[in-house]
Amino acid sequence: MLPDKIMPLKVNIRMLQRESARLEGTLPVDEVAGELQDELVRFVSPLSYDLEAAMQGADLRVIGTLQAELECDCSRCLKTFRQTMQITDFAALLPTEGEEAVKLDGDFADLTPYLREDTFLALPTNPLCTPDCRGLAAKASARDSLPEEDVKTGSEPVPDPWEALDKLKL
């Protein structure tokens, strides 16, 4: 039986000093999207990762790809659609010493916050169901329902909207 606690993605720094490591797997939706408060985008699959971790001097270098399936609401017409988010060039150089050092738990560095950060940055800010989405259908107005002979042509002068205000005597 699996524990209820979510397992973050951790890598052993001591082992990386001898050789690089390949990391493949998935992070659960709760672990990746826990802090996401986006009304238009939702994760519907775990975040798949294929990473290579290695030490580069005193820094931890992580490169690879990330992928997840998203459910989005179109920002123009509000239609719900699915989209694949793929980061093919994930790269992080994480210091192991100093103020900006990656947090260590013994010999293990947790990579989850760095994957989450890049994943959030890759999410669509204004998702569109199609690139040429025209948005919601416009409401019909009274002038749209006039017979063609009553519709004004472009040759007639347009009344000045300020005319009524110009006539006011204050």
Query: Which of the two residues, 143 and 96, has the higher pLDDT score?
Result: 96
For position 7, what pLDDT does the model report? 59
Q: Give the model's confidence band at 157: pLDDT under 50 very low, under 70 low, under 90 confident, else very high.
A: confident
Strand-strand pairing, 104-105 and 108-110: antiparallel
The mean pLDDT value of the chain amounts to: 84
Torsion of CA 11, 16, 20, 22, to 10 degrees: -20
Q: Give the model's confidence band at 4: pLDDT under 50 very low, under 70 low, under 90 confident, else very high.
A: very low
Of residues 96, 109, 22, the one with CA closest to residue 56: 96
Strand-strand pairing, 47-56 and 59-73: antiparallel
User: What is the C-alpha to C-alpha distance for residues 154 and 146, in angstroms, rounded to an integer?
Assistant: 16
List phi, psi (to 5°) of 77.
Answer: -110, -5
Element (H, E) at 14: helix 13-16
Its pTM stands at 0.70
- Is residue 28 within 8 Å of residue 6, measured between CB atoms? yes
Give the tens place of pLDDT for each residue, 91-130. 999 998 888 889 888 889 989 999 999 999 999 999 999 9
- Is residue 63 within 8 Å of residue 91, measured between CB atoms? yes
Give the tens place of pLDDT for each residue, 43-95. 999 999 999 999 999 899 999 999 999 999 999 999 999 999 999 999 999 99
Q: Which two tokens stand for residue 141?
A: 């107005």
Angle at 148 between CA 142 and CA 153, to 5 degrees: 90
